Chains A and B, each alone.
Chain A
Amino acid sequence: DTAVSQTPKYLVTQMGNDKSIKCEQNLGHDTMYWYKQDSKKFLKIMFSYNNKELIINETVPNRFSPKSPDKAHLNLHINSLELGDSAVYFCASSQDGGAYTEAFFGQGTRLTVV
């Protein structure tokens, strides 16, 4: 079984559309994250959720909103997509969200905005 799974793997959409990326983890972890990786491979943390509470909200546009229906899921909703949103988005989870715990990443969702 995949520990952290996200769907879809690829997403091509037009500017202005609204889209969602789903993420689920079966590790029983308390904390989940969303990262954005641009074309230069730089990994930037976007959000972190611990027990359904947002504990980190980086300076990302408010068009991006994380939604966590339960501890095992953290979905990413994006409104009014822009060209600059094209990137690979990774979901990840860790045991307790502390800096001493390793993060487990999903396979990534490659978003292309045209």
Chain B
Amino acid sequence: GQQVMQIPQYQHVQEGEDFTTYCNSSTTLSNIQWYKQRPGGHPVFLIQLVKSGEVKKQKRLTFQFGEAKKNSSLHITATQTTDVGTYFCAGPTNNNDMRFGAGTRLTVKP
């Protein structure tokens, strides 16, 4: 079935450094969603991107949707310890449900 590939699987940064996770699809996506899961917690919706080339910001988080709508990225500027967690992208399937990427686990060293 359709999948969204997400890289890297793990990222360890020093507090204050930037962080980026990437999501790629072999097919054009109608939209893409991003979720964050804190350690021991549950996935929480962050944002949805729909338009080609769309860029959305939430404080230090910047989300981009590629021009071809086949890739997306989440960039965090100047990471903080509160950013720790696993970030998932999710793309639609032919069944009209959302299929999650493998996630990028971010750890931040104070």
Q: Chain B's interface: helix, strand, loop or mixed, by majority?
A: strand
Residues from chain B with Cβ under 8 Å of A33 in the complex:
97
Residues from chain A with Cβ under 8 Å of B41 in the complex:
107-108
Interface residue A64 (Cβ < 8 Å from any Cβ of B): no
A99 near B44: Cβ-Cβ < 8 Å: no
B42 near A97: Cβ-Cβ < 8 Å: no
Interface size grouping (class) on chain B: 20 to 34
Q: How many A-B residue pairs have CB under 8 A?
A: 58
Contacts of B1-57 to chain A: CB distance below 8 A = 30-31, 33, 35, 37, 41-45, 48, 50
Residue of B nearest to A43 (CB): B100
> Which residues from chain A sit less than 8 Å from chain B, CB to CB?
33, 35, 40-45, 48, 55-56, 90, 92, 97-100, 102-108
Taking A45-B98, A99-B98 as known contacts, 17 extra A-B pairs with beta carbons closer than 8 A to each other, sorted by chain A number, are: A41-B102, A43-B88, A43-B100, A43-B103, A44-B100, A48-B95, A55-B95, A90-B42, A99-B93, A99-B96, A99-B97, A100-B31, A102-B48, A103-B35, A103-B98, A104-B45, A108-B42
> Which residues from chain B sit less than 8 Å from chain A, CB to CB?
30-31, 33, 35, 37, 41-45, 48, 50, 86, 88, 92-93, 95-100, 102-103, 105
